[in-house]
Amino acid sequence: MPDRVLRLEGSSNFRDLGGYTAADGRSLQWRRLFRSDHLAGLSAADLQALAELKIGHSVDFRGVNEISAQGYAWPQFQRHAFMVEPTVVQRTQELLAAGHRMTAADTVGLMQDTYRSFVKVNADRFARLFQLLLQSDAPLVFHCTAGKDRTGWAAALILHALGVSREQVMEDYLLTNAYYQRPPATVAGRLPEEVLEVLWRVQEPFLDAAMDLVDRDHGGMDRYLAEVLGMDRAARAQLAERYLA
């Protein structure tokens, strides 16, 4: 099988979604859908590697300030900005400024709130991702800054829509902890180490918070995909025909 992780000079978390098995026994095609951390640091060799993969689109979930600080406009693929503003770091800094001593447990709670906001506040951005997947069959990469939270939720939605089990969804989600290279402290900001350890990794309770909210408010992921994201049975069948082998 192809390597799931692509070794790039300017990205540590660039991964292929291929190979996961759907409920009907088919598998996701390799070299069609990719997830990543931000793409602003790609080298000439990296761009050549992506050109060989024939990637036609990138979906950028980063917010305004993130894009301003680390923007990119690589001519070989079309960039789509489906912005989901990051709130957890800002909220953490506000609490610290107010004199609150942040702990790892506090930060886990903030991360869970962030994932719930993906479900309730930012659903339209993820719906636009599905629209793009149905409109074009060119290989596509979607990403945020670290490729773990906004990107992790997008990957979970895609995999579920294609019939992949929740166990495999979580397996893919947790791979970030093995590959993502945390930025130096000067980039991460002056936050307590125990807080940074939570912010720059993923944990099952983060993704579970979003999944549990979907179950509670929408009666399950199938209904959420259909009623909120526009992915009814016919749309999911089209998606499967395009991306399952």
Instruction: Please provide residue 54's backbone torsions phi and psi, each rounded to the nearest 5 degrees.
Output: 60, 35
Residue 191's CB is within 10 A of a number of other CB atoms, namely 18
Cβ contacts of 91 within 8 Å, gap of 6 or more: 110
Angle between helices 88-97 and 104-120 (to 10 degrees): 140
Please state, in angstroms and rounded to a whole number, the distance separating the CA atoms of residues 217 and 59: 27
Give the separation between CA 120 and CA 22, rounded to whole angstroms: 27
Distance of CA 238 to the CA centre of its chain: 22
Tokens for 216?
């509670």
The answer to whether residue 144 is catalytic is yes
Q: Helix H segments across 80-200?
A: 88-97, 104-120, 123-135, 150-161, 166-174, 176-179, 185-188, 193-199
The active-site residue out of 144, 156, 191, 229 is: 144
Residues in the chain, total? 245
- Chain-centre distance for alpha carbon 7: 18
- Tokens 């506000």 belong to residue: 94
CA 100 to chain centre: 30
Give the catalytic positions in this structure: 144
